[in-house]
């Protein structure tokens, strides 16, 4: 049974990598939704592909320093502040925990790296796709 489960997970991971190789923003949404739903954990290779495809920046200052860009926020405690961020942002950590964050709010994640997708400009459709999943189908639904 374990080998079958392991092989199924390997197949899922390979499929995700293939999706990301030929990816567009809607396909990135599919991959992140699978991660949020706990169907598959994203590997470092998958995260790197998502970061490259979204032209994301790694910076603890996130939206303060890079407004409107996707950012990966390294944290020591999983805490994210939206103080002085004038637009909503979707946050997804390496554990699959996802939240739709509103301006001026304070948020805590289970993981230590939070990928932020601003609900602005070119990322509006992706952010909305993930927001709908978080609110209507995520294992983290409140």
Give 3-state DSSP helix, strand, coil % of the chain, rounded to 5: 45, 20, 35
Q: What is the mean pLDDT of each run of 10 residues along the chain (142 residues)?
A: 45 58 68 92 91 94 97 97 97 97 98 97 90 76 42
Alpha-carbon gap, residue 20 to 111, rounded angstroms: 22
Burial class (CB in 10 A: 0-12, 13-18, 19+), 112: middle
* pLDDT value at residue 6: 46
């Amino acid at each position: 049974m374990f080998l079958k489960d392991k092989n199924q997970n390997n197949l899922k991971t390979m499929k995700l990598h293939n999706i990301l190789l030929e990816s567009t923003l809607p396909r990135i949404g599919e991959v992140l939704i699978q991660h949020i739903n706990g169907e598959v954990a994203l590997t470092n290779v998958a995260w790197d592909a998502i970061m490259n495809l979204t032209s994301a920046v790694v910076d603890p200052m996130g939206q303060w320093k890079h407004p409107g860009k996707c950012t990966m926020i390294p944290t020591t405690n999983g805490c994210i502040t939206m103080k002085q961020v004038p637009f909503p942002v979707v946050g997804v950590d390496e554990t699959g925990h996802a939240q739709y964050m509103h301006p001026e709010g304070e948020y805590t994640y289970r993981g230590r790296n939070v990928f932020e997708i601003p609900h602005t400009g070119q990322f509006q459709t992706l952010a909305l796709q993930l927001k709908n999943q978080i609110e209507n189908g995520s294992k983290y639904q409140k």
